[in-house]
Amino acid sequence: MAISAIVLITLSLAALGGFWLVSSNLGRAVAQWRDRVRIVVYLKREPPAPEAVLGRVRAIPGVSGVTYIAKADALRALKQVLGKDASVVDQLPANPLPASLEVTPSAAAATPEGARDLLGRLAALPEADEVAGSADWIERLSQWQRLLTTIGLGVGAVLSVAAILTVTTATTLILHARRHETEIMRLVGAPESTIRLPLLLQGMMQGLAGAVLALIALMIGYSLVAPRLEPLVSLTLGIPDLMFFTPVGILTLLGAGTLLGGLGGWLARAGREP
């Protein structure tokens, strides 16, 4: 029973820790892409006084910053993108690219609702010809993060309840096997804490052992999976590497295991009142 309790605590914390790792790395990607959200306002013509337009755009609620890109700057950027094929641009009779404003939304506007509101305000500018940009896909990534967190908490909670019940059962069996010993201790005046503390400590040690095993399993899994996934994650999500638990996260995992085991031991001895 004690081994079963340790195994269940290991499984519950490994499942919870695995979902936690995936969710935290998705959270890094979401935060990073929120900072990169840009809305581009294509202008009907180059303004004679760009600073006046920039000042009006900066005054719009939800705008964190704005950069003016002239037609010539846009053409130079296109040449850099084309690289060795940049000579094609020189054959154009005129510069076909419009001047534009690159708007950086504030944190409140980097959401689907905030971005739609800001898009409407920018489109209402008399100089604006077309407005492009959206934060919908970032919100979908955030929804995936919340879904994984919920699933991880659910799986971890179910396995945690099973682990607590197993620790409780194992401790109850120990109480039953030592019932004569505990009765004699009570008869000679031993305080209840003297009888119960070893059982509580035993449950906590089982929980700590399960947490250590779960942490080892997660470290092995991370070392095997992370190097293979990092190129794909860097390409798709834009984060250069996958992050493992911080020292605070490791302590939290160990503390959760100790708490699970201690709770199981406490529940068992709570039912053994004289």
Other residues' Cβ atoms within 10 Å of the Cβ of residue 35: 11
- Model-level pTM greater than 0.85? no
How do residues 4-25 score in pLDDT, each as one tens digit? 778 878 888 888 888 888 888 8
The CATH number corresponding to 38-134 among 3.30.390.10, 3.90.180.10, 3.40.50.2000, 3.30.70.3040 equals 3.30.70.3040
Interatomic CA distance for residues 219 and 213, integer angstroms: 10
Structure tokens at 102: 């690159």
Query: Residue 271: its pLDDT value, please?
Result: 41
pLDDT top residue among 224 and 197: 224
Token pair recorded at residue 80: 């850099």
Contacts of 252 (CB under 8 A, 6+ apart): none
Q: Give CA angle at 154 (150, 110), nearest 5°.
A: 5
Residue intervals in the chain for CATH 3.30.70.3040: 38-134
CA distance 122 to 60: 8
Distance (Å, whole) CA 168 – CA 165: 5
pLDDT digits (tens, 9 = 90+) for 110-124: 677 777 788 888 888
pLDDT band for 262, please (50, 70, 90 cuts).
confident
pLDDT at position 134 over 80 = no
Name the token pair of 55.
């000042």
Tens-place pLDDT, residues 56-78? 888 888 888 888 988 888 888 87
Bridge partners, residue 131, by sequence: 41
